[in-house]
Chains A and B, each alone.
Chain A
Amino acid sequence: MRKLPIAVALLGVAAAACGTSSGGGTQAGSSSAPAAGGAKPLAGVKIEVAAKWTGDEQANFEKVLKAFEAKTGASVTYASTGEDTGAYLGPRIEGGNPPDVAILPQPGLVQQYADQGALKPLSSQVQAQIDQNYTPYWKELGSAKGQVYGVLVKAAHKSLIWYRQSAFDDAGAQPATTWDDLVSKTAQTLSDSGTTPFALCAASGWTLTDLFENIYLSSAGPDNYDKLSKHEIPWTDASVTTALQKMAQVVGKKEFILGGPSGALQTDFPTCVTQVYGQKKAAMVIEADFVAASVPQSGAKVGEEAKIMPFPKVGDTAPVILGGDVAVVMKDSKGAQALLEYLASKEGGEVWAKQPGYLSPNRNVSPDNYPDDLTKQLAQTIISAGESVRYDMSDLAPSAFGGTDGKGEWKDLQDFLRTPTDVKGAQQKLEADAAKAFEK
């Protein structure tokens, strides 16, 4: 397209006919009306950014992009990669035409793409923003081989259980602080009262890895967690057995899961949120803070009907697991670096923070921007990430193991959900897949 006038002309027709897809009409004028963009440094520059968000999360992010457009005059197109970001970017990297900016759901991909030479180092301006706004821990997650490639633009607090207050009230159930209480008291009470305790989004494999990781971090401890993350201990280790057995206490009980295992395996994220707050069929969802983005749509209010409890401790301490999305530059362009600079800045972070379901890892984003107290509180936990806090294990793994639909850990845990009694078999499958993925 770049080299061939015909295609350019065709595109021109398309653009003239209906405007660019992201700008929705307002931004389309920026190139045709230079007078308006006089003072803006990036007037007429086109930037494509790809991320996995759809629906509400996409709409929220597009508000940030709008603010960037308004500030710089650039026109930004948002591309949804779908759940499997690797599968989306793979052919585009192969074909030498990646998006300008990609937001990777896993630091594991930063490593992988850096190895392939698909990433561009960040400009000094972006790095300055990072140094100013991020703790070294977060900076490191966006780095590979000593080079900074990415900015963590969105953080997720993954050690939460969301519950529906009215279901708890009806049943007389209480939030739990230990796993055993969660299983034998909270969930049992709910179940006895006729409300299914949990809605699982097991069709989205990552929700299961999140659950497992929380149990594992708490039951096996941070040291083992680090070792398993790097595959220094095998998945057949006894610590994994314990964690899977604990997990089976919930997922192995038909009446604890909405629709049973087979129903859960057909439920994709965030449908389980709708099941709890919209259809009121279940009482709890075990997932991260970003559930908040889907709560309002179901007609519930965060902090009132939709409440959270910290993930209860399975072993000695309660787990805190974080996740995040890393923005990287895949094409050397002024626009791409400028967008990253904006996303890494206090200004950009604060625009985003006003949207529901967002936590900023940027320590200079004022907590006052968050829409509710609950989010404020969570944001605090993330910024002051302490010693025992760990990053989402599956996201650190090679994506063939930890981040691919229908493969590796996602698939093996889904299979485990089908036969929760077969802990050994699940461990063997996990070990086999991990060995394959880490060997490469």
Chain B
Amino acid sequence: MTERLDGPQAPGGGDAAGEPPGPRETPPAGVTAPVAAAASATAAVPAEGAAPPRLGPSPRLAVMFLLPAVLLLAAWMIYPLVYSLVRSLFDASGSRFVGLGNYGSIFTDSSTLTTIRNNVIWVVVAPVVVTALGLIFAVLTERIRWATAFKLVLFMPMAVSLLAAGVIFRLVYEQDPDKGVANAIITTVHDTFSSSTGYPGARPRENDQAPATVQGGAVVAKQQAQPGRPVLIPLVGLSQDVVKDAAPAKAAPADGIGGTVWLDVVRGGGGTLNQVDPQEKGLAGITVEAVSGSTVKATTETADDGTFRFSGLPAGSYVIRLPQSNFTAPFNGVTWLGPALITPAIIGAYIWVWAGFAMVLIAAGLSAIPRDALEAARIDGATEWQVFRRITVPLLAPVLLVVFVTMVINVLKVFDLVFIIAPGSVQPQANVIALEMWRVSFGGGGNQGLGSALSIFLLLLVVPFMIFNIRRFRRDES
């Protein structure tokens, strides 16, 4: 990959191959130099590999050098691999052979199927977004002077543990706009365009005696309004604190078409239901509509004492309606951590962590693109977009592929972020294979047969990338 990163031009690649890769003084810590240094590694291989060693040490010595590593790899990786493979063929207790039964239950159990579905979402979305953002940022930072600072900021989350990142985003995603910054921003933006008005939560009582009822969000009086018969619309569900300073409610005068909208609740209980009591407060500023048939004939607003009156309306019978706009609940933000958005929300946190990585890798590749090619295109009159689309991206393709593949492998193993960010009640909806494996093996049920099968399944998912790596290495070496 490093070879590819440097591309056809490989700035400094030529000298790096011959130069001992000692400490380089290239402040500020650049990307180009390390690429070159790393490139020297692979670049040197073909020349070395071909010639037989003249003074080579004995192969026996190799054993000494390799022994600790081989022992560790054998005991901690190879042996567990075999063990898990065998264990996955037995039941929970480990005493009964069940063949591929555990693998069967992976694909029939609804909770493991959810984890597979989530992993698919992760694999489809996260690597693409991370790579795309990395590309955009890498290209754009070429145009600013504070690129180093920008890159450091974006790169910083790589140093933070996923647990800490999880805590960070748990705070970001808090539902309460007074706690979670995401909802604080969203509600602020939302409220500048359409602020909540009136009396959210106010509603008529839900029983047959109540003079008003809810129809399609609006409050409608059951009794039709006629001149001389004022309509009473008692509402409840509002805290006394909301109407602390409101004027006492009054019955509407009996002439004309009118009525009263008021809060039919007395602090500490009491009062007569559906009657305007002296302690009860009027609800001011409510929009009231007089409807006849299906058309609104007139609109008015309640006064401080909750009374309203339609003047100049032809005599007749009208339905009195308080439209829904009076009761719009304040926008409370997005339920990030609910079952619907949990996976996208966690992917958001994941992108926060990894976009910097993609950007730095891609920027390194970008800096290795031959400038003449770009210049030539520009001189030929190509627009920046064309240059980007036709030259930059194709030349970057190998790097983009590496970033993408790295992300796919990483995403398949995602564990901490899901475990930490999803609240207990949403864990089943957010679950992924790597987490389910831990849960199944060590959680309440303790089914290590199924757990082993899940771990083997996870391994199978990364096998294509194992092959990808091996092929790439072979190609680079030959």
Contact = CB atoms under 8 A, between A and B. Distances in A.
Q: Per the CB under 8 Å rule, do A and B touch in the complex? A: yes
Interface of A: 83-84, 86-87, 90-91, 94, 169-173, 189, 191-195, 202-205, 255, 259, 262-263, 265-266, 268, 398-400, 403-407, 411, 414, 418, 437, 440
Interface in B418-471: 423-428, 431, 438-439, 441-446, 448
A205 B427 CA distance: 11
B323 interface: no
A202 B425 contact: yes
Contacts of A169: 268
B237 A90 contact: no
Contacts of A262: 335, 338
Contact of B265 (A84, A91, A194, A259): A194
B237 A255 contact: yes
Contact of A205 (B175, B266, B424, B446): B424
A84 B268 contact: no
B426 A440 contact: no
Nearest to B429: A406
B266 A414 contact: no
A170 B423 CA distance: 34
B431 A406 contact: yes
B72 to A, nearest CB: 16
B266 A172 contact: yes
B233 interface: no
Contacts of B201: 194, 255
A404 B439 CA distance: 9
- Top 3 closest pairs, chain A to chain B, by CB: A172-B269, A194-B239, A404-B444
B338 A266 contact: yes
Interface string B233-275: 0001111111000000000000000000000011111100000
B425 A84 contact: no
11 contacts: A83-B424, A90-B442, A94-B442, A194-B265, A203-B425, A203-B426, A266-B175, A400-B444, A405-B424, A407-B439, A437-B445
Given A84-B443, A172-B268, A405-B427, 8 more contacts: A169-B268, A170-B240, A191-B236, A193-B240, A193-B265, A203-B425, A255-B201, A407-B111
A398 B203 CA distance: 45
A83 B423 CA distance: 12
B337 interface: yes
Contact of A87 (B423, B425, B442, B448): B442
B92 interface: yes
B444 A407 contact: yes
B3 to A, nearest CB: 42
Contacts of A399: 444-445
A55 to B, nearest CB: 16
B425 A265 contact: yes
Contacts of B242: 194
Interface residues of B, number: 39
Given A94-B442, A263-B175, A406 B239 contact: no
Nearest to B428: A406
A171 B269 contact: yes
B330 interface: no
Nearest to B338: A262
B205 interface: yes
Contact of B238 (A194, A268, A403): A194
B339 interface: yes
Contact of A194 (B111, B237, B444, B446): B237
B123 to A, nearest CB: 22
Contacts of B444: 84, 86-87, 398-400, 403-404, 407
A122 to B, nearest CB: 24
Nearest to A265: B425
B327 to A, nearest CB: 12
Contacts of B431: 406
Given A194-B237, A405-B424, A91 B442 contact: yes
Nearest to A86: B444
Contacts of B337: 266
Interface in B329-365: 335, 337-339
Nearest to B265: A193
A265 B428 contact: no
Contact of B439 (A83, A87, A203, A205): A87
A189 B427 contact: no
Contacts of B205: 192
A418 B342 CA distance: 15
Contacts of B438: 87
Contacts of B269: 171-173, 189
Nearest to A109: B444
A364 B268 CA distance: 43
Contact of A440 (B92, B238, B267, B428): B92
- Among A173, A194, A205, A259: residue with most chain B CB under 10 A: A194
Nearest to B430: A406
B239 A195 contact: yes
Contacts of A94: 442, 448
A407 B436 CA distance: 11
B335 A407 contact: no
Contacts of B338: 262, 265-266
A400 B439 CA distance: 11
A91 B451 CA distance: 12
Contact of A400 (B425, B445, B448): B445
Given A86-B446, A407-B443, A407-B444, A194 B240 contact: yes
Contacts of A403: 444
B441 A90 contact: yes
A191 B235 CA distance: 12
B236 A404 contact: no
B138 to A, nearest CB: 37
Given A84-B443, A399-B444, A193 B424 contact: no
Q: Which of B239, B242, B269, B443 has the most CB of A within 10 A?
A: B443
A84 B442 CA distance: 10
A411 B428 contact: yes
A262 B439 CA distance: 24
Contacts of B270: 172
Contacts of B268: 169-172
Nearest to B270: A172
B312 to A, nearest CB: 36
Given A172-B266, A192-B236, A265 B426 contact: yes
Contact of A406 (B424, B446, B448): B424
A211 to B, nearest CB: 14
B443 A259 contact: no
Contact of A90 (B265, B266, B426, B443): B443
Contacts of A440: 92, 445
B413 to A, nearest CB: 19
Given A192-B265, A407-B111, A204 B445 contact: no
Nearest to B337: A266
A319 B424 CA distance: 28
Given A406-B427, A440-B92, A418 B339 contact: yes
A123 B438 CA distance: 35
B443 A87 contact: yes
Nearest to B243: A194
Contacts of A255: 201, 203, 237
Interface in B381-434: 423-428, 431
